[in-house]
């Protein structure tokens, strides 16, 4: 039980490792919060699947400092992000913008689901609506009876 509690405490206090160094932080908590939120959405160009908020790469450090400088100078969130997309392209955005070039990316899966769903619905409906087999004619019935009898014999 003691062990369990120790482990529980350990896991409860576990936090994701953050790359942001104390010296990088802005004095104004509101601005720092904005910078944190923005840097979590910006890709580190060196590691590519980490945000600059998480990455320990030197370039990520430089970009975090740069972002905070822009914010401290009074840039809006959009202006600060534009500063980076102007230099590194849309690729720095971990969440791609919704615009004509990314419609396929954003709406493609929904479109596929709708098309496949509609297709399946039509198919299943048609199958259910198919009339039951017509009753046997007198000739067919006679032949069936004969065959059944032969089978028994």
Partner 1 sequence: MRRLLYLLPVALFVAVAVYFLLALDPNRDPSRLPSAMIDKPTPVFALDGLAGGKGLSLDALKGQVVLVNFFASWCEPCRDEHAILMKLGKDSSVQLYGIAYKDKPEDTQRFLQQLGDPFRAIGLDQTGRTAIDFGVYGVPETYVIDKQGRIRLRHVGPLTEADVAKELMPLLKSLQNS
In the complex, the residues that contact partner 1 under the rule CB under 8 A are: 45-46, 48, 58-59, 62-63, 66, 85-91
Query: Which is closer to partner 1, CB of 3 or CB of 125?
Result: 125
CB of 88 to partner 1, least distance (A): 5
- Shortest distance, CB of residue 32 to partner 1, whole angstroms? 21
Given the complex with partner 1, which of 31 and 85 has the nearer CB atom? Answer: 85
Q: State in angstroms the smallest separation of the CB of 25 from partner 1.
A: 19
In the complex with partner 1, the residue whose CB is nearer, 49 or 137, is 49
Residue 74 phi, psi (nearest 5): 100, 15
Nearer to partner 1, 34 or 64 (CB): 64
Angle, helix 77-88 to helix 29-39, in steps of 10 degrees: 40
CB of 136 closer than 8 Å to CB of 145: no
CA distance 20 to 71: 16
Quick check: 86 and 51 in contact, CB under 8 A? no
Nearest to 51 by CA among 64, 66, 34: 64
We find the least distance from the C-beta atom of residue 48 to partner 1, in angstroms, to be 6
Give the H/E segment covering residue 131.
Answer: none
């Amino acid at each position: 039980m003691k062990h369990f509690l120790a482990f529980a405490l350990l896991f409860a206090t576990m936090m994701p490792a953050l790359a942001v160094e104390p010296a990088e932080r802005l004095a104004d908590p509101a601005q720092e919060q904005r910078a944190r939120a923005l840097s979590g959405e910006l890709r580190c160009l060196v590691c590519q699947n980490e945000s600059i908020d998480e990455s320990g790469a030197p370039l990520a450090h430089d970009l975090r400092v740069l972002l905070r400088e822009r914010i401290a100078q009074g840039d809006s969130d959009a202006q600060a992000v534009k500063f980076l997309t102007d230099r590194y392209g849309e690729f720095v955005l971990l969440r791609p913008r919704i615009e004509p070039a990314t419609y396929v990316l954003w709406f493609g899966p929904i479109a596929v689901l709708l098309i496949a769903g509609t297709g399946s619905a039509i198919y299943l409906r048609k199958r259910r609506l198919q009339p039951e087999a017509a009753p046997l004619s007198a000739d067919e019935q006679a032949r069936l009876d004969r065959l059944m009898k032969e089978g028994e014999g």
